[in-house]
């Protein structure tokens, strides 16, 4: 079985700031990495008809029926097998923590900022929020959508300052994912056309440490024909991912070359967006997290599985496409579409190690709750509602964060969000708030979230 990737002999100039000579040697020094072109372009489109599944396998998230993308990869076995837990760690090296989204947070274990300019923990662009929703949006919480993994530990490591970031920042985040946090899987939904020594070294170190590294194969646009090799997907040992649509056809933008090892839904998929709601997006960035989640399932059953072992597993469990037989790959689809049911059924006979044999990593200590919401009163108005409440700081230190007031309909779907930014409370002090909320007529329930600098949600 071919596992090593063919590496392009000539490297292109990139972002006007970096150029590379025609050479097989990696580039030394720093450079720019970017989110693949034309991503996070949300449009008002008609979603495909939902794919049906047995009712008992559906989580109670009201928007789940719109997630044709998640239903197509058959997660029923993952949902019905309640043994899946948070001991598997996925690092998402991207645009910042998605924790401020009301439907993400339960699976976020760690947030860290690796950017040179220290732009902050929180996702300021929305790319990581969309990716994290696919992997691990809060599931069976009666709100919004469901992640493909009901329980997992997501390590949100910020390496992008927006659409772009420095190669060195991404390399540092990848290294920390393995050496500092002990992550099992690393998702890299970002690309560069050049082979940088620092990025190659970090990826090689991660793969040799046993982590499974998954990367987007890239999106074609402009002079990019879609056949060029992009990094990190083109590196040896990295699982490169292409995008398919609802008909299991390659997305017109999705790269096709020797870097593609598998594919997943990535055309008009439905997930969480930075505004606090949900929308559609397209790109190989949004196909990659499905394969990263599949790697997490493999790591759950076989903690020692590495990239080569996972590649072999994909060859035996993917739904082959493009006329290929099982175990055959092609440049458009790799070994085919990732299929969670096939993976679970293939691995299930192998008993997962008990904690005594392979102890679960200890969860980070929960910080003391520094504040509370009190005296909440909601009164209807002509245009919606007036929400008044008190935030009390019960600690001896000043705290600082943002307040989100979210309106949900009777089914639990998020309808609107009002944000009060930069709420600071002095030690042992209280502050009263009164906020008009322009709730849709269908809004039935209002919840208040307060996130401190430590990302502690306080709700009522």
Q: Is 257 exposed, middle or buried (0-12, 13-18, 19+ CB in 10 A)?
A: buried
For tokens 């933008």, what's the residue? 253
Q: Quote the distance between the C-alpha of residue 405 and its chain's center.
A: 24
Q: Is the distance from CB of 219 to CB of 283 less than 8 angstroms?
A: yes
Question: Which regions of 105-145 does DSSP assign to beta strands (E)?
Answer: 108-113
Place of tokens 């590495």: 306
Closest among 166, 212, 162 to 187, alpha carbons compared:
212
CA-to-CA separations, 119 to 96, 138, 154, 174, 195, in angstroms, rounded: 9, 26, 20, 18, 26
202-130-289 Cα angle (round to 5):
50
Which listed residue (97, 101, 113, 127) is catalytic? 127
Sign of the C-alpha dihedral, residues 449, 418, 406, 414? negative
* 151: CB partners within 8 A, 6+ apart: 84, 85, 86, 107, 136, 139
Q: Which runs of E-coded beta strand occur in 170-247?
A: 185-188, 212-216, 239-244
User: Could you give the CA distance from residue 240 to residue 373 in angstroms, rounded to a whole number?
Assistant: 46
Task: Round to whole Å and give the CA distance between 341 and 319.
Answer: 11
- Specify the long-range contacts of residues 436-441, CB closer than 8 Å, at least 24 apart: 436/381, 436/383, 436/384, 436/385, 436/386, 436/387, 437/384, 437/385, 437/386, 437/387, 437/405, 437/407, 438/383, 438/384, 439/384, 439/385, 439/407, 439/415, 440/407, 440/409, 440/415, 440/416
Give Cα 71 to chain centroid, integer Å.
17
**Tokens matching residue 106:** 């339960």
Identify the active-site residue in 153, 258, 285, 307. Answer: 285
The Cα 292–Cα 213 span in angstroms is 8
Residues 6+ apart with CB under 8 A from 418: 404, 405, 435, 436, 437, 438
Radius of gyration, CA atoms only, the chain = 22
Can 103 be counted among the known catalytic residues?
no
Q: Are strands 278-281 and 269-272 parallel, antiparallel or unpaired?
A: antiparallel
94 classed as catalytic? yes
**Among all residues, which ones are annotated catalytic?**
94, 127, 285
């Amino acid at each position: 079985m071919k596992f090593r990737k063919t590496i392009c002999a000539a490297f292109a100039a990139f972002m006007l700031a970096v150029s590379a000579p025609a050479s097989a040697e990696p580039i030394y020094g720093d450079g720019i990495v970017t989110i693949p072109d034309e991503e996070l372009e949300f449009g008002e489109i008609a979603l495909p008809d939902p794919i049906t599944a047995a009712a008992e396998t559906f989580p109670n998230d009201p928007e789940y029926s719109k997630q044709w993308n998640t239903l197509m990869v058959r997660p029923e076995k993952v949902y019905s097998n309640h043994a899946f837990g948070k001991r598997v760690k996925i690092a998402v090296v991207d645009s910042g923590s998605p924790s401020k989204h009301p439907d993400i947070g339960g699976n976020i274990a760690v947030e860290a900022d690796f950017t040179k300019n220290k732009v902050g923990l929180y996702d300021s662009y929305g790319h990581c929020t969309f990716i994290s929703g696919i992997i691990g949006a809060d599931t069976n919480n009666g709100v919004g959508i469901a992640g493909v993994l009901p329980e997992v530990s997501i390590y949100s490591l910020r390496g992008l300052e927006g659409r772009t970031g420095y190669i060195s920042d991404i390399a540092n985040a990848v290294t920390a994912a393995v050496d500092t946090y002990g992550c099992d899987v690393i998702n890299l939904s970002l690309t560069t056309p050049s082979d940088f020594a620092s990025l190659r070294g970090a990826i090689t170190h991660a793969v040799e440490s046993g982590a499974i590294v998954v990367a987007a194969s890239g999106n074609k646009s402009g002079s990019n024909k879609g056949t060029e090799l992009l990094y990190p997907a083109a590196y040896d040992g990295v699982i490169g991912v292409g995008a398919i649509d609802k008909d299991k056809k390659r997305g017109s933008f999705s790269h096709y070359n020797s870097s593609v090892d598998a594919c997943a839904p990535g055309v008009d998929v439905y997930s969480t967006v930075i505004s606090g709601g949900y929308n559609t997006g397209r790109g190989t960035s949004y196909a990659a997290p499905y394969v990263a989640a599949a790697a997490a399932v493999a790591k759950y059953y076989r903690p020692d599985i590495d990239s080569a072992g996972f590649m072999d597993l994909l060859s035996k469990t993917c739904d082959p496409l493009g006329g290929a037989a099982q175990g055959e790959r092609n440049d458009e689809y790799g070994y085919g579409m990732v299929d969670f049911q096939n993976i679970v059924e293939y691995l299930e006979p192998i008993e997962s190690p008990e904690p005594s044999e392979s102890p679960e990593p200890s969860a980070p200590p929960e910080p003391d709750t520094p504040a509370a919401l009190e005296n909440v009163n909601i009164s209807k108005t002509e245009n919606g509602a007036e929400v008044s409440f008190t935030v009390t700081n019960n600690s001896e230190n000043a705290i600082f964060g943002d307040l989100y007031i979210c309106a949900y309909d009777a089914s639990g779907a998020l309808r609107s969000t009002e944000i009060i930014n930069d709420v600071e409370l002095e030690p042992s002090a209280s502050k009263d708030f009164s906020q008009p909320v322009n709730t849709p007529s269908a809004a039935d329930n209002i919840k208040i979230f307060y996130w401190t600098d430590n990302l502690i949600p306080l709700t009522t």
